[in-house]
Structure 1
Amino acid sequence: MSTARMLTGDRPTGRLHLGHYVGSIANRVRLHQRYESFFIIADLHMLTTRNGRQDIEGVADNAREMVTDVLAAGVDPARATFYLQSAIPEVGDLNTLFQNLVTVPRLERVPSLKEMARDSGKEEMPYGLLGYPVLQAADILCVKGEVVPVGKDNAAHVEVTREIARRFNHLYGEVFPVPELIPSETPTLVGTDGRAKMSKSLGNAISLSDDPATVRRKVMGMYTDPNRVRADVPGTVEGNPVFAYHDVFNPDRDRVAELKRRYRAGRVGDVEVKEELAATLNRFLDPIRERRARFEADRGLVDQLIVEGTERTRAEVRKTLVEVRRAMGLSSAYTQVRRRAERYRKRAETAA
């Protein structure tokens, strides 16, 4: 395993889905054997769009579910450090220092922020959401992350991190690596409704933890070609989410090509294509379900992993913050004041 570090993670808003898998988790599974890997449970990021009391009260349960999903997907717990973002207050200190290294117009050019605000039903951009990429930079650089596997939505955020790292190093000396972005092979997976990316909040997702019957029900209700009223009517494959999923998850490329030919010619019905997709997805999810069941049976293991990982990460972040403050000269400012105060106190005691 390389000594280089990887940082990745998710917001604890519920169980992970197939969109998460193709967007970043597949990369994590592949890469975590090569890098020292930190997995953030980004509950502070969650607050930018979901900050009600009920949302916050659900963090612990959602964190457990999220970590279990990642482990079930194939991440080895012995090679991963899971940590809860809000339990490391030093990340907030680093975020504060980084805020001065990026401008508001630069952040306003990050396209996904407006999408996040819109999807969460916010008419105006909260200050915390505008600063989302800055906090993300603090997350990545606090452990000196060098590799960041991300989906399409977060690519622009990581570019802000790269800019902040370069800016800091230019001003104060070489402290941070400039992290490398590793995109997924399938940047975005359309939702089952065919209208947007797969999202828990939009109700168009197939979860990694869904049972076979649930997967089949969701697949059978998927959006297809609205102009195709009968099986003998030629259908459109392009933009059809059923075939988009076949392209990603069905390993039998010849069979997928055959289904597409028959669909375009009006010689196969939506039911048959969907039935085959449901079977394909369940075959893909079966080993994930089996691993999830094993981790769920070992009660308390996931909690222990989070606690141990958080304590270890906090120790690393504290070291980074000391280095940052020293490079910026902040450490010496209070030291100078304190020394003068100490001399003043001694003079006052002598005079008395």
Structure 2
Amino acid sequence: LLSMITPLGWLERVPTYKDQQEKLSSKDLSTYGFLGYPLLQSADILIYRASHVPVGEDQVPHIEFTREVARRFNHLYGKEIGFEEKAEEAIKKLGSKKSQLYRELRTAYQEGGDDQALASAQALIDEQQSLSLGDKERLMGFLEGGGKMILIEPEYMLTPASKMIGLDGQKMSKSYNNTISLREAPNEIEKKIRTMPTDPARIRRTDPGDPKNCPVWQLHAVYSDDKTKEWVEHGCKNADIGCIECKQPAIESILKELKPIQERANHYIDSPDVVKSVVAEGCEKARKLARDTMRDVREVMGVNF
């Protein structure tokens, strides 16, 4: 249903689409499935009416895309019958001068993206004590280009370390085969980090380097304390430490963080019935939310049969 209202150009400008086209050039990505998968992800968010979504920094544009889709849907289907006519009647109730001002501010916002005009128009509406709540809502919806909110526009949630670097210096992604999994064996984690590329300038042990040119430094930025980071930065720039020495604190910190996670995971690995019960309960809650959303969406689109 969402695919019928989503312009092709919106999908083509999603950063991950362009990025993976470049980095996975050996694969044929000129397919409907690859182009359309961001919209499927948006549907997964919107169907549960999520207000906030925890994502990595690289996924922020995708949340913005999801907001655009929700906004367009609400604009197309969130209006009552005769909405524009009723909005025009509400404008007339403002009086001639204020009606003209409202129209000017609305044009400035909708055609020029003037946020100050939007704020001024909203304040103008709020000041009208003689207008009914229904008329105020119509004027707000007419101003903002919307109506009733059927699909929620979600906000993104970021952590201080919202972008995790992969083993090759790119973003960490299964598509690039550069990940460390949460349940990976300690010896495999150590092997992966020890073989990570480092600053190309450090050909020999005595060559100074720059941490900013080394993907291992990005791991230190996430996992190491200030004292360790100072030691790494000074040691790298002055060639006081080698790359293997630099990697060791990162290895130890990652293993330390993953240990309790893996211990908790082992409990569930040994208790498959508990996992099935948790999944079943969660699925039932999700189904109810999805059914409610689909009912509302089909109703406003006129396909509720």
How does the TM-score come out when normalised to structure 2?
Answer: 0.70
- State the AA in 2 paired with 1:300: D
**In structure 1, how many angstroms separate the alpha carbons of the residues matched to 2:207 and 2:300?**
69
1:263-342 paired onto structure 2 within 5 Å:
263-331=236-304
Letter in 1 for 2:28: E
* Local SS of the residue matching 1:181: strand
SS at match of 2:211: coil
Letter of the structure 2 residue corresponding to residue 116 of structure 1: Q
In structure 1, what is the Cα distance between the partners aligned to 2:243 and 2:54? Answer: 35
Q: CA deviation at 1:226?
A: 2.5
Secondary structure of 1:238's counterpart equals: helix
Matched, 1:126 2:31: yes
1 or 2, which has the higher strand percentage? 1
Map residues 183-332 of structure 1 onto 2, 5 A cutoff.
183-194=158-169, 196-250=170-224, 252-331=225-304
Distance of 1:99 and 1:212 partners within structure 2: 44
Which of 72, 76, 81 aligns to 1:171? It is 76
Task: Give the whole-Å Cα distance in 2 for the aligned partners of 1:186 and 1:225.
Answer: 22
Distance (whole Å) between structure 1 residues aligned to residue 277 and residue 237 of structure 2? 53
Structure 1 distance, partners of 2:163, 2:220, is 14
Could you tell me which amino acid in structure 1 is paired with residue 166 of structure 2?
Answer: G
Answer with 1 or 2: which has the greater Rg: 2
Gaps of 5+ in 2: 79-147
- After superposition, the CA RMSD in angstroms is 2.0
- Letter matched to residue 308 of structure 1: E
Q: Distance in 1 between matches of 2:175 and 2:66?
A: 27
Deviation at 1:151, TM superposition (A): 1.7
Q: Distance in 1 between matches of 2:172 and 2:44?
A: 25
Higher relative contact order, structure no. (Cα contacts within 8 Å, ≥ 6 residues apart): 1
Q: 2:4 aligns with which of 89, 100, 104?
A: 100
1:148 partner SS: strand
Instruction: Rate the CA distance shift 1:246–1:183 in 2: closer, same or farther, 3 A.
Output: same
CA distance in 1: counterparts of 2:59 and 2:232, whole angstroms: 34
1:142 aligns with 2:47: yes
Q: Which amino acid aligns with 1:284?
A: E
> For the structure 1 residues 185 and 125, does the alpha-carbon distance in structure 2 shift closer, same or farther, using more than 3 Å as the test?
farther
Residue 330 of structure 1: SS of its match in structure 2?
coil
- SS state of the match for residue 173, structure 2? coil
Label 1:100 to 1:202 Cα distance change in 2 as closer, same or farther (>3 A): closer
Cα deviation, residue 171, structure 1? 2.3
Partner Cα distance (1:302, 1:115) in 2: 36
Note closer, same or farther for the CA distance 1:120–1:139 as it changes in structure 2 (3 Å cut). farther
Distance across 2 between alignment mates of 1:200 and 1:104 = 26
Q: Distance in 2 between matches of 1:169 and 1:202?
A: 37
Aligned-partner Cα distance in 2 for 1:124–1:177: 31
Q: Is the 8 A contact 2:77 2:301 kept in 1?
A: yes
Distance 2:175 2:239 in 1: 35
Whole-angstrom CA distance in 1 between matches of 2:18 and 2:31: 10
What does residue range 103-114 of structure 1 map to in structure 2 within 5 Å? Answer: 103-114=7-18
Q: Which runs of 4+ in 1 moved over 6 A?
A: none
CA contact (8 A) 1:166 1:178 kept: yes
Conserved? CA contact 1:114–1:125, under 8 Å: no
Pair 120,183 (structure 1): closer, same or farther in 2 beyond 3 Å:
farther
What TM-score do the two structures reach when normalised by structure 1?
0.62
Give the Cα–Cα distance (whole angstroms) in 2 for the partners of residues 124 and 215 of structure 1: 31
CA distance in 2, matches of 1:167, 1:201: 31
| Equivalent in the alignment of 2:56 | 151
Deviation at 1:120, TM superposition (A): 8.0
Aligned to 1:338: none
Q: How far 1:219 moved relative to its partner?
A: 1.5
| Cα deviation code 1:280-319 (max 9, x no counterpart) | 1111111111111122121232233223322331222112
Out of 155, 174, 196, the residue aligned to residue 180 of structure 1 is 155
Consecutive unaligned residues in structure 1, runs of 5 or more: 1-96, 335-352
Does the 8 A contact of 1:237 with 1:243 survive in 2? yes
Instruction: Give the number of equivalent residue pairs.
Output: 234
Q: Given that residues 168 and 178 in structure 2 are in contact (C-alpha distance below 8 angstroms), is that contact kept between their aligned partners in structure 1?
A: yes
**Secondary structure of 1:268's partner?**
coil
**By how many angstroms is 1:108 displaced?**
0.9
Offset of 1:121 from its aligned partner?
Answer: 4.2
What is the letter of the counterpart of residue 230 of structure 1?
R
